[in-house]
Amino acid sequence: MGRAARPAISGDKGRTNLSTAALVSMYRTMYTIRRFEQRSLDLHKQGAFRRSGIHPYIGQEAVAVGVCAALGPDDLIASTHRGHGHAIAKGADIGRMIAELAGRRDGYCKGRGGSMHIADFTRGNLGANGIAAGGVPVAVGAALASQILGTRKVAVTFFGEGAANQGVFLESLNLASVWKLPVIFVCENNLYAISIPAALTLPLPDVAIRGRGFGVPGIVVDGQQVLEVYGAACMAVKRARRGEGPTLIECKTYRFEGHSTVSPVPRRPAEEVEAWTARDPIRLFEQLLDAVEGVSTEALTKVREEVDLAVEAAVEFALSSPEPEVEQLFEDIYA
Amino acid sequence: MTERTEATDRAPPRQLTYAQALREALVEEMERDPRVFVLGQDIASHGGIFKVTDGLLGRFGRDRVRDTPISESAIVGAAVGAAVVGARPVVEIMFVDFLTLGMDQLVNQAAKIRYFSGGHAAVPMVVRTQGGAGGGFAAQHSQSLESWFVHVPGLKVVMPATPADAKGLLKSAIRDDNPVIFIEHKMLYFTKGPVPEGDYLVPLGRADVKRMGQDVTVVATSGMVPRALEAAEQLAAEDIDVEVIDPRTLLPLDTETILSSVHKTNRVVVVVESVGRAGVGSDISALISEEAFFDLDAPVCRVHGRFAPVPYNERLEKAWMPSREQIVDAIRRVLT
């Protein structure tokens, strides 16, 4: 329980059996998320989207990538309003994602959902969500179907520490535990619910401890260290597949940007911002790859260049996609 | 598998209660499709507070017949999640009043997923619940909240009034790939009627003419259907020939059957149990005014619950509910 679980999986590579190629692939995904968000922020600023805005995932990349690396392609995730990172980590097509941000016909929701509703059922992403904790019981239900239908799929729900104060989170934790469902609750504690510091809404600093009241193991991990997240997720996946029930993983992380492009960056203590941005998950992973794995700076630079090109291609695809026809307003309301 | 619909041969009459008819639908659908499962409060060994799920546990086991914690939001949400990945959950929410606690999952999740997914996802789930006054359950256990759900694109809303419709509509709801809110009426569970055996389906979105008539159309829903039929029988003695139409499905609504009846009778009374403001009754009334204004010989008349919380006291509750007398008066009014 709590921090005691931390030493079991540290940030170093020692305890994972990932190949160098797999580690570099994780790096590539983390950097893709970063680049995707930066370009999306640029495009938003330039007025290319002309819509409400986006919730950037910058600073939290290690969480989505660490968790999704522990999942198989058939496993399922339910995401949040800050969902671009989860979607990319689960294999989404970034061209279709940007097309959705731009409200275009080739977007994941055919331009009808926008940033907060990108879903990719072909890759097990049950969707981002505009409601805090809205996806939590959905993931529980996906795990329930897995249990009833015997598909052995594991479901993950991502949510913030703000959403941990929704009643449905506690209801879901309880339901998943009494039915021993193969679901993993991943709390991304980024310390702010829009503008409100976690200390004002959480009586205890850790959300993970809430698992105890429901018989769900709660683990706190360093959400800036992708391999630490990965290790905890692997353990939770193993438990889920063995039929041992849910796990609650709290990833301590930080939202580098503001809540969204339409809300100002909250006033945060300068030393807090400095301490967290010094622990940029991508920088930390680069250091690890270099020191432990011997991956050269040049090799990583090459990865980044490739990603930059891919993101530009995605932007080009998205912005050349047509606007939806007005008739499409009425499409897909019913199956 | 041969499906029998009401259009084809009806089975010889066999009397079942509304509750038994619902149970038969559940049993048949669970036997037909292993992806169908039921969950809700007190539905397993207790068999549901109105005994609709009685016997399912012994027949289908704990995996597919699940008692849940008192957590409506998580239950409805779990059904949404199970449905999008290929199961076909049937949730029982004990009272429609309690569905307020699951509204986010219904309105913001279930109803939107197909649209947001660009048509890739389906949400084949049914929320069975019951509402209505008349049992002395007071204001948190007696409401008629169907209008809330009819207001949401992406949901379907069904309200059966007879045992046969209860069976046929529930089977269709379970086979539908969309979220269906299936609202039963607590005062109808022990009413009896003929119910066809076997695979009997009533399609969603089709109204039923419960009584043919020439002089006036009464559109009535749920528990108001038997009441409207009583009013019609009373007026038959005075040679007033009343047609009673039960939409059965409020969303989608069979506007054609309603409008063609109005075209024939030129006079309409709309009877719903819910309060009048912003309700299904107003909606149907508006439809008729907009689409059949020149067919009308009198303004559309609405009969509905009073605009007050449903009271406990029997005398007050009776005063709250639309009565047969009120329906009779309304019919006389549109005929003058």
Q: Under an 8 A CB cutoff, do B87 and A76 touch?
A: no
Residue B4 has pLDDT above 80, yes or no: no
pLDDT of residue A251: 98
Specify whether B197 is located in the same domain as B49. yes
Specify whether B294 is located in the same domain as B162. no
Residue B6 lies in a domain: no
- Do B81 and A143 meet the contact criterion of CB atoms below 8 Å apart? yes
Specify whether B18 is located in the same domain as B160. yes
Which residues does chain B have within 8 Å of residue A334's beta carbon, measured at their own beta carbons? 114, 154, 156, 177-178
Specify whether B54 is located in the same domain as B70. yes
pLDDT of residue A15: 52
CA angle B14, B19, B22 (to 5 degrees): 80
Residue B257 lies in a domain: yes
**Of B120, B141, B151, B304, catalytic:** B141
Specify whether B26 is located in the same domain as B163. yes
Specify whether B35 is located in the same domain as B154. yes
Instruction: State the average pLDDT over residues B104-117.
Output: 97
Q: Residue A267 is which amino acid?
A: R
Q: How far is CA A245 from CA A171, A186, A231, A240, B278, in A?
A: 15, 14, 17, 5, 45
- Domain end: B183, B201, B219, which one? B201
Dihedral over Cα of A135, A136, A137, A138: its sign: positive
Can you give the CATH number for the domain in which B314 is found?
Answer: 3.40.50.920
pLDDT of residue B138: 95
Beta bridge partners of A193: A196
- Write the pLDDT tens digit of every residue in A114-127: 999 999 999 999 99
Smallest Cα distance from A148 to chain B, Å: 6
Specify whether B94 is located in the same domain as B37. yes
Residue B9 lies in a domain: no
Which residues does chain A have within 8 Å of residue B176's beta carbon, measured at their own beta carbons? 335
Specify whether B119 is located in the same domain as B186. yes
CB within 8 A of A123, min separation 6: which ones?
A73, A90, A91, A92
Distance CA A196, CA A53 (A): 20
Residue B13 has pLDDT above 80, yes or no: no
CB within 8 A of B148, min separation 6: which ones?
B103
Residue A5 has pLDDT above 60, yes or no: no
Residue B4 lies in a domain: no
Residue B125 lies in a domain: yes
Nearest chain B residue to A170 by CA distance is B74
Specify whether B184 is located in the same domain as B220. no
Specify whether B285 is located in the same domain as B185. no
Nearest chain A residue to B73 by CA distance is A168
- Domain end: B160, B179, B201, which one? B201
User: A35 is written with which tokens?
Assistant: 């680049």
Residue A48 has pLDDT above 80, yes or no: yes
Residue B263 lies in a domain: yes
Distance CA A37, CA A33 (A): 6
- The string of DSSP letters for B105-118 reads IIIIIITTHHHHTT
- Write the pLDDT tens digit of every residue in B45-84: 999 999 999 999 999 999 999 999 999 999 999 999 999 9
Residue B259 lies in a domain: yes
Nearest chain A residue to B79 by CA distance is A141
Among B35, B78, B117, whose Cβ lies nearest the Cβ of A175? B78
Residue B5 lies in a domain: no
Q: How far is CA A192 from CA B151, B202, B242, in A?
A: 35, 51, 64
Q: Residue A288 is which amino acid?
A: L
- Do A218 and A248 meet the contact criterion of CB atoms below 8 Å apart? yes
Q: Under an 8 A CB cutoff, do A109 and B84 touch?
A: no
Predicted confidence band of residue A262 (pLDDT cuts 50, 70, 90)? confident
Specify whether B141 is located in the same domain as B46. yes
- Write the pLDDT tens digit of every residue in B249-261: 999 999 999 999 9
Beta bridge partners of B130: B184
* ipTM score of complex: 0.92
Can you give the CATH number for the domain in which B178 is found?
Answer: 3.40.50.970
Counted domains in chain B: 2
pLDDT of residue A166: 97
**Element containing residue B83 per DSSP (H, E):** helix B72-84
Q: Which domains does chain A have, with CATH numbers?
A: 3-320 (3.40.50.970)
B263 in catalytic set: no
- B258 is in which domain, residue-wise? 208-335
pLDDT of residue B35: 98
- Domain end: B201, B217, B240, which one? B201
Q: Under an 8 A CB cutoff, do B178 and A121 touch?
A: no
Specify whether B304 is located in the same domain as B224. yes
